[in-house]
Amino acid sequence: MRFLPLLLSLVITIGVSVDPSPIRAAPGETIAGAARKVVKLYGAGGVRGLEAFQTGILVSADGQIVTVMSTVLDAEEITCVLDDGRRYVATLTGIDPRRELAVLSIKGEDLPAFVLDESEPLPTGSRIFALSNLFGVAVGDERVSAQHGVVAGVIPLEARRGAYEAPYTGDVYILDCTTNNPGSPGGALVDWQGRLVGLLGKELRATASGIWLNYALPVAEVARGYREIIGGTPTAAGDKPATAAFDPAVLGVVLVPDVLDKTPPFVESTRPDSPASRAGLRPDDLLVAINGRAVASRSAVRQALAPLADGDPVRFTVIRGGAIVECDLGPRPPTVRNP
């Protein structure tokens, strides 16, 4: 049912050419000017759920392109089509696995390109355009599709798709237009003056709620990733903390046994002389947040504790007798490994 917003929003594929003009907040000129710097990419895929196309943005006049890392790029030949229909074979320069960015290059000159301007982030409520090869409907010399919306929020990314978890956890723009569809990843997010403010992200769901996310990586992060790739020093994806390794029992908390998956995270008891008992945790306390992160269920408790490293501060928020009580458990003790 996600096609309705597209029908209702401004989906534009314009074939007219407009001269580069002074920056003004006129939507038509803004879109026309910015869309020239957005390219359609075609590579591997083409089976259900794995589209063979996405979007990229030109960031230099000699043909450097930034896009998102994806299976589309797993092709022997990546085709890049400019807004005027010119076709290039793109080569993969490098990737940034942490931000999931990739840089491609084409042999061109005097190409229109975005400036990777690392200005202040846009505040919530700012109007934006998203320009992308949405669903691959723009073909040949047709410009990419434009959608309009606002920055709905700026939040740290916590996203996944199935078992895959997004490695980037910094701030992203959440958008109120539907960009989480095939072809959008790698598209340009521009403000109403045509400045690049972000790169449209992959099709992911929010970890907390499971809803599809419409998000974009802010331009400052795009610029950092681009520099690292060009400079040959991309940050590694980093080792994710093992999720099952930490046993909450080392904190001295014993939860009420889970009968038929029907038991909320109530404290049954605390071990004497443990961080939990020293923090004043009591039987029948209902755990509701750990380090400020809401934990509504037992699985949420496990998820919130899993990424904590030895020595990280641990604070439990509980409901006791209808009131909120904060319990500071101090630094996380090391997990005792069974011999």
Partner 1 sequence: MKFSLWQTVVLSAFAISTAVAALIVTAAAVASADTLGLEEEAAFRRAVDRVAPAVVRIEPAGLSEAGIGGAAEAAPATGPSSGLVVDPAGWVVTTAFAVPTDATQAIVMLPDGTRQAARAVGRDLARGLVLLKIELAPGISLPVAETAPRSELAVGQWTLAVGRAWSTTAPSVAIGILSAKNRAWGRAVQTDASVSPANYGGPLVDIEGRVIGILAPLPADTAGMMAGTELYDSGIGFAVPIADISSVLPRLMNGETLRPGILGIGYSSRDPFTAPANIATCRVGSPAAKAGLRPGDTVVTAAGQPVTRIAELRHVLAPRYAGDTVELVVDRPQKAGGSVRVSARATLVAELPPWRRPMLGIVPDRSAGVEKADGKEKSGGVRVQWLWPEGPAARAGVREGDVVESIIEATGNDQPGAAEQAGDPLRVASPAALAGFVGGTEVGQMVRLSIRRGEKILPIEIATAALAADPPPNVPTVAGTARVERLEAPEVAKPPLVVMPAGDARTPLGVLIYFGPPPGTGDKADANAALAEPWLAAAAQHNVAVILPGADDPQRWSRMDIAALARSLESLRTRRPIDPARVAVAGRGAGGAFAWLVADALGPAVRGVALLDSALPRQATIEAAEPGRSRWVLFGQSAAQSLPKLAADRKRLEDNGFPVGILPEMLGETPPAADLCGWVEALGVL
Quick check: 332 and 312 in contact, CB under 8 A?
yes
The token pair at 104 is 């491609």
What H or E segment, with its residue span, contains residue 81?
A: strand 78-81
Whole-angstrom distance, CA of residue 283 vs CA of residue 323: 15
Give the nearer residue to partner 1 in terms of CB position, either 116 or 189: 189
Span near partner 1 by CB under 8 A; candidates 72-80, 99-107, 249-257, 283-291: 283-291
User: 232, 257, 292, 339: which one contacts partner 1 (CB under 8 A)?
Assistant: 292
Give φ, ψ of 225 to 5 degrees.
-60, -40
Burial 244-270 (b: 16+ CB within 10 A, else e): eebebebbbbbbbeeeeeeeebbbebb
Q: How far is the CB of 41 from partner 1 (least distance, A)?
A: 17
Number of residues that bind partner 1 (CB under 8 A): 83
Q: Which residue carries 């038509």 as its tokens? A: 28
Q: How far is the CB of 63 from partner 1 (least distance, A)?
A: 27
User: 55, 60, 64, 145: which one contacts partner 1 (CB under 8 A)?
Assistant: 145
Structure letter (DSSP) for residue 241: P
Q: How far is the CB of 146 from partner 1 (least distance, A)?
A: 8
Residues in 2-41 at the binding interface with partner 1, rule: CB under 8 A: 2-16, 24-29, 31-32
Q: Does 299 bind partner 1 (CB under 8 A)?
A: yes
Give the nearer residue to partner 1 in terms of CB position, either 242 or 294: 294
Give the nearer residue to partner 1 in terms of CB position, either 11 or 223: 11
Whole-angstrom distance, CA of residue 225 vs CA of residue 97: 9
Q: Does 219 bind partner 1 (CB under 8 A)?
A: no
Residues in 244-263 at the binding interface with partner 1, rule: CB under 8 A: 258, 260-263
Span near partner 1 by CB under 8 A; candidates 216-224, 235-243, 315-323, 329-337: 315-323
CB atoms within 10 A of CB 118: 13
Residues in 45-74 at the binding interface with partner 1, rule: CB under 8 A: 48
Span near partner 1 by CB under 8 A; candidates 76-84, 100-108, 146-154, 229-237: 146-154
Three-state DSSP state, 72 = helix
Q: Does 147 bind partner 1 (CB under 8 A)?
A: no
Longest dimension (CA), the chain: 75
Span near partner 1 by CB under 8 A; candidates 61-69, 111-119, 152-160, 234-242: 152-160
Q: Does 319 bind partner 1 (CB under 8 A)?
A: yes
Q: Does 124 bind partner 1 (CB under 8 A)?
A: yes
Please give the order of strands across the beta sheet that includes 323-331: 293-294, 286-290, 313-320, 323-331
Give the nearer residue to partner 1 in terms of CB position, either 27 or 333: 27
Query: Which among 71, 65, 245, 294 has a CA at the least distance from the CA of 161?
Result: 71
Span near partner 1 by CB under 8 A; candidates 65-73, 100-108, 248-256, 287-295: 287-295
Q: How far is the CB of 209 from partner 1 (least distance, A)?
A: 3
Q: How far is the CB of 192 from partner 1 (least distance, A)?
A: 5
Helical ranges in the chain per DSSP H: 4-8, 27-35, 219-231, 275-278, 298-305
Cβ neighbours of residue 31 closer than 8 Å, sequence gap 6 or more: 12, 14, 129, 131, 146
Give the nearer residue to partner 1 in terms of CB position, either 10 or 249: 10
Give the nearer residue to partner 1 in terms of CB position, either 82 or 318: 318
Give the nearer residue to partner 1 in terms of CB position, either 182 or 225: 182
Structure letter (DSSP) for residue 135: G
